[in-house]
Amino acid sequence: MGNHTTLVEFILIGFSDVPKLQGFLFGTFLIIYIVILMGNALIIIITKVDPSLQIPMYYFLGNFSFLEICYVSVTVPRLLADLCRQNRRISFLACAFQMDVFVILGATECLILTAMAYDRYVAICNPLLYPVIMSHRLCVQLASACWITGILVPIGLIYKIFSSPFCKSNELNHFFCDVPPVVQLACGDTLMIEILIYVIATAIINIPFLLVLGSYVKIISTILKLPSATGRAKAFSTCSSHLMVVTLFFGSGVIVYMEPKSTQSTGMDKYLSLFYTILIPMFNPIIYCLRNKDVMVALGKFLQKWTVS
């Protein structure tokens, strides 16, 4: 019992180990956060107001953009505040809440990306049946299933983590309450927690990633059979952007959450997590806009109309 303590708060170390870079990091992360908010907000608006984008592909893209705004808002505002102050304490309850919301949104994103891959698969491999299969009702059902599953999945894991005893150290070498660094502070046997992490990561990251890759194998083979070079180029442009986002997001998630606890380096995980919490969400609007002519045309119309008005 002497090795355990009842924690009431954690201390987020964040980037306090580089004090001379606090101002630079604050400015950089603030700019990135603004870009993420503005970019995804624009995508949501144009997918709602432009008639040419009222199709399932952009319905899921609008959902994904909304998720991205929520996803970064769970971590970045707290990070910006911590870069400006010495007190980086976060209560036990606030830490549990942040982790729960972060995992929910991350899991939902994985599932939404899988639904987007299925949409592209049907559109390219079964174009004649696409309007019948991908009805508005099915799109709503798929999106709802992604959200509901994302909400239900982490409940047991979060409860198990925060009902465990913790060691005396309450210093969290991270900039937010992510699963691996918090589990690092847990005392005693954490085997059950690690098994839960692997099961959830397999169900939410690995299996969807394999489904997406399988879909794109079929999609690419179908695209290569198209007789028109213009048709092949258009199909590749709409699919390659989604594949880039999927590879970046799932790849970083696999590295962090599938790594055994015994070999984890929390310091390195802190910097690696910047990819899936900040950098990839920043690139998503850029990738989807610049590599998609329909979105670029719709964005041009919207900006022109907004400027004139």
Whole-number Å distance between alpha carbons of 301 and 50: 9
Residues with Cβ < 8 Å from 247, sequence gap 6 or more? none
- Band (pLDDT 50/70/90 cuts) for residue 34 is very high
Q: What is the pTM of this model?
A: 0.88
The residue with tokens 């929520």 is: 70
The residue with tokens 């079929």 is: 218
Structure token pair of residue 105 = 């949104």
Phi, psi (rounded to 5 degrees) for 87 = -80, 105
| Per-residue pLDDT, 222 | 85
What is the DSSP secondary-structure string of 59-87? HHHHHHHHHHHHHHHHHHHHHHHHHT-S-
Q: Which domains are present in the chain?
A: 9-308 (1.20.1070.10)
Cβ atoms of 235 and 223 within 8 Å: the answer is yes
Read off the pLDDT of each residue in 123-145 and give the average, rounded to a whole number: 92
Whole-number Å distance between alpha carbons of 39 and 154: 29
Residues with Cβ < 8 Å from 24, sequence gap 6 or more? none
Task: Quick: pLDDT tens for 114-127.
Answer: 999 899 899 888 98
Residue type, 182: V
Structure token pair of residue 187 = 């005392």
Whole-number Å distance between alpha carbons of 308 and 73: 32
The conformation of residue 91, written as its DSSP 8-state character, comes to: E
- Band (pLDDT 50/70/90 cuts) for residue 1 is very low
Nearest to 279 by CA among 6, 32, 89: 32
- Band (pLDDT 50/70/90 cuts) for residue 243 is confident
Residues with Cβ < 8 Å from 153, sequence gap 6 or more? 103, 104, 107, 200, 203, 204
Residues with Cβ < 8 Å from 272, sequence gap 6 or more? 252, 255, 256
Nearest to 91 by CA among 154, 173, 6: 6
| Per-residue pLDDT, 265 | 53
Expressed in angstroms, the distance from the first to the final Cα of the chain is 68
Q: Which region among 103-112, 261-270, 293-302 has the lowest average model confidence (pLDDT)? A: 261-270
Cβ atoms of 238 and 290 within 8 Å: the answer is no
| Per-residue pLDDT, 2 | 46
Residue type, 165: P
Pairing of strands 9-12, 171-172: parallel
* 108 or 300: which leads in pLDDT: 108
